[in-house]
Amino acid sequence: MLMTILLLLATCATFGQEKTAEFAKLDASALPVSARIHIGGDPDWLAIGLGSVWVSVPKNNEIVRIDPKHDVVQARIPVDQEPCYGIGIGRTRVWVLNCKSQTLTRIDPEKKNVDLRIPVSIADHGEGSIAVDDAGVWFVGNEDTHSSTLVHIDPNDGGVLRKIPVGPESAVVNLGFGSVWVTSSGDHKVYRVDPKSGNIVARIDVAAKPRFTAIGAGSVWVLSQADGSVTRINPATNSVQSVINAGVPGAGGDIATGGSCIWVAAAGTPLTRIFLQSGKIADQYGNYKGADAIRFGFNSVWISDHGKGDVWKIDPEKLPKLP
């Protein structure tokens, strides 16, 4: 029976031509993990950039740099207390928000140390993300206790360039299509912000409690925690193009794009694979509660397992495909 199900699946590049809405639900033990890199502590947030895979370890107050070629820890860099809200990768620096110490730290990856420390006000739950480009660092501030302020920081000296009101209970910031995208769990919208003027270009209604976002295939993809769905936003029209019922509700989770797929992680379901062009679900791997952060890079899928202190490296070419 399992073989029959697997033969129905296609590679990410070809599934867009298929019409079936069915997909396989498999055990996480079936994932083709090519390496388990032991980090220790509670590895969580992941980032790809500067030739490396980066993972935050809140319990140990450190950011770990992984060599993706040899699958080994390259460096352990101390930061402030409880690094959270993801990891921002700039042209030459790595940026991290720290929940307990309420700071934004800038890491020099060559010297392996923090070279700038900025006091900030952020919500202490840490379920968000930080975005970085040449114009600065973007994150959600919590000065009003409602996490409704998009903060823009100068990457050179840490000075505040701008504060922009957005929706309540915002957390995740992403960059794409010449805009800053912010999810508001409080009013169930995605805010599109012009980074030059600071004006809100659009407020897009999505499924309840939107949280994590990814950019790919000319779209913005939003994971909503209330029902575990993935919403596809068309930035050309600032409207919802489609909604994918991934069935992974609950706190936590993550979403990424790469290799012609959307990759979703959630508590209890470390991997759901969605074909980027068609928006169809290929397969889903569950029955494992310890992993819910995900990224794609270096032709691999990376998942942090904070239950066992590992980072998994998965070969997407070994996932089920048509012969």
Q: Looking at residue 316, what is its pLDDT?
A: 96
pLDDT at 2 over 70: no
Place of tokens 């569950």: 286
> CA–CA separation, 257 vs 301, rounded Å?
10
The mean pLDDT of the chain is 92
Quick: pLDDT tens for 78-124: 999 999 999 999 999 999 999 999 999 999 999 999 999 999 999 99
What digits encode the pLDDT tens for the residues 259-304? 999 999 999 999 999 998 889 999 999 999 989 999 999 999 999 9
Residue 125's pLDDT band (cuts 50, 70, 90): confident
pLDDT for 135: 92
Provide mean pLDDT across the span 193-199. Answer: 97
Convert the pLDDT of each residue in 14-38 to its tens digit: 333 333 358 999 999 999 999 999 9
The residue with greater pLDDT, 7 or 281, is: 281
Contacts of 141 (CB under 8 A, 6+ apart): 120, 121, 122, 147, 149, 150, 151, 163
Chain segment 151-188, per-residue pLDDT in tens: 999 999 999 999 999 999 999 999 999 999 999 999 99
pLDDT at 278: 87
Q: Is the pLDDT of residue 237 over 70?
A: yes
Domains annotated on the chain, with CATH: 24-318 (2.130.10.10)
CA distance 188 to 145: 18
Element (H, E) at 47: strand 46-49
pTM of the model: 0.93
**Measured distance CA(219)–CA(192) in Å, rounded:** 13
Give which of 300, 321, 283, 289 is closest to 35, Cα–Cα: 300
